[in-house]
Amino acid sequence: MRVSDRLPRPRADLETFSVYRTQQVAADVRVNANEWADPNPAGRYLTSRELDDILLNRYPSAAATADLRATLATRYGIAPDQLIFGNGSNEVLLNVFFVFGGHARTTLLFQPTYSMHARLTQIAGGTVVEEHVGLPYDVTLDGALAAMDRTRPNIVTFTSPNNPTGNLIDDAIILAVAERYAETLVLVDEAYSDFAGNTVVPQIATHPNIIVTKTFSKVHAAAGLRLGLLIVDPRIGDIFRAIQLPYNVSPLTTAVGAKIAKRDDDVQRRIVECATQRARVYAALQRAPGIEVFPSVTNFILFRLTDRQPADVHAKFLEHGVLIRDISMWPGCARCLRVSIGTPSENDRVIAAIEAVFSKTPARA
């Protein structure tokens, strides 16, 4: 072997780790990533004067997050130091798995759920243990407690509402687990909770082992901003402040985030619009033959094909200019596809595509 052929070896458990891919094909209507579809240009939020106040030659001071922190603390009824910011909620999630997971520690996941929880657990060096709930995604108290008893994890993760299934997990189940397993970290991913008008944040005061993640990527229409947050008991905050990378969130991000965080009116409008549009797409899926559709309280809908192949159906939607997500390889999601709610005109296209793809008499070429 030549010297140039020799390479350092990565950690053995990451050697076969695959790249996280979302489908990057061109399509008129992109309803594959659970984003908010209305364009939300950055220029809406900062004046050129405000931009000039952000000095890029300097590292940001703590004051750069003060406005954002104060607004969110008031919104959630918490102390400002209960908030930890990250470059998207994926970053704060990774830190959760670093701090409470890692080598010789386990994360319990109720499958099917957001695929990054398993990946981040592994990146942090920990081990995933799973409870296969399947579809419909009905996490029960008995099932959750039995899984806890069987696996005794260091971290248990609840995604509520859940991705990809679109439904809530009963708060009472999360609280019962947190109470019975006070030494387990109970991570609640609330990326979509505003759509459902539900949160367990007020329960942190009495259940300090609960921590909650939220994101600006969904109802705040700012997936490109990359801003996520973690809400923790004040006693747990210091460990996250200790391990996070210095200046991990740009002052441009926190300045825009502070403006967006004040736009409760936008959030309320989107929640109403989402419900109206979701009902339209849901009804179209229900009318279509060969589909089982699952109720959703979020900005996306899961459906399962009774006989056709998901890859074929996905390709047919693309022929109509509509990119949906094939999630048939997710645990327990055989023959499943997921569609996000788009703008009203995009949903017209989605509905037309549903009707065409599932029509009983396919149009002749």
Question: Least distance from C-beta 330 to ligand PLP, angstroms?
Answer: 12
The CA-atom distances, in angstroms, between 56 and each of 60, 260, 266 are 8, 21, 30
- In the list 107, 154, 163, 244, the residue contacting ligand PLP (rule: CB under 6 A) is 163
CB 216 → ligand PLP: shortest distance, Å?
Answer: 7
- Residue closer to ligand PLP (CB basis): 112 or 310: 112
Count other C-beta atoms under 10 Å from residue 27's C-beta.
15
Positive or negative: CA dihedral 271, 277, 281, 282: positive
Residues 9-48, one symbol each (x = binds ligand PLP by CB under 6 A, - = not), give -------------------------x--------------
| Shortest distance, position 225 Cβ to ligand PLP, whole Å | 9
167 is a site residue for ligand PLP (CB under 6 A): no
Nearer to ligand PLP, 215 or 277 (CB): 215
Q: Give the C-alpha separation, 189 to 250, whole Å.
A: 23
With CB under 6 A as the rule, give the number of residues binding ligand PLP: 13
Is the CB of 215 or the CB of 328 nearer to ligand PLP? 215
- What is the spatial distance between Cα 337 and Cα 319, in angstroms, rounded to a whole number? 16
Interaction of residue 296 with ligand PLP, rule CB under 6 A? no
**Cα separation, 280 vs 341, whole angstroms:** 10
The stretches of the chain forming alpha helices (DSSP H) are 48-52, 66-76, 89-100, 115-123, 141-151, 171-180, 193-196, 234-243, 251-261, 264-287, 310-319, 344-357
Tokens of 234: 């004040």
- Is the Cβ of residue 131 or residue 189 nearer to ligand PLP in the bound state? 189
Q: Is 217 in the site for ligand PLP (CB under 6 A)?
A: yes
In the complex, least distance from residue 159 CB atom to ligand PLP, rounded to whole angstroms: 5
Instruction: Restricting to residues 178-207, name those near ligand PLP by CB under 6 A.
Output: 189, 191
Minimum separation from the CB atom of position 65 to ligand PLP (A): 16
| Burial status of residue 195 (CB atoms within 10 A of its CB: 0-12, 13-18, 19 or more) | buried
* Residue 174 CB, nearest approach to ligand PLP (Å): 15
Map residue 308 onto helix, strand or coil. coil
CB of 360 to ligand PLP, least distance (A): 34
Of 338, 264, 265, the closest CA to residue 298 belongs to: 338
**If you ran DSSP here, which 8-state letter would residue 132 be given?**
E
Q: Which of 171, 175, 172, 196 is nearest to 184 (CA)?
A: 175
Q: Among 121, 215, 250, 296, indicate the residue that binds ligand PLP (CB under 6 A).
A: 215
Tell me whether residue 64 or residue 212 sits nearer to ligand PLP (CB atom): 212
Q: Taking CB positions, which residue lies at the least distance from ligand PLP?
A: 88
Rg (the chain; Cα; Å): 21
Altogether, the residues listed in the chain come to a count of 365
Phi-psi region of 199 (alpha: psi -120 to 50; beta: other; left: phi over 0): beta
Instruction: Tell me the DSSP string of 73-101.
Output: HHHHTS-GGGEEEESSHHHHHHHHHHHH-
**In the complex with ligand PLP, which residue's Cβ is closer, 257 or 284?**
257
Q: Which is nearer to ligand PLP, 163 or 209 (CB)?
A: 163
Least CB distance from residue 122 to ligand PLP, whole Å? 16
Closest CB to ligand PLP among residues 71, 157: 157
190 or 346: CB nearest ligand PLP: 190
Nearer to ligand PLP, 144 or 229 (CB): 229
Q: Which of residues 76-115 bind ligand PLP (CB under 6 A)?
A: 88-90, 114
CB of 226 to ligand PLP, least distance (A): 7
Interaction site with ligand PLP (CB under 6 A): 34, 88-90, 114, 159, 163, 189, 191, 215, 217, 223, 228
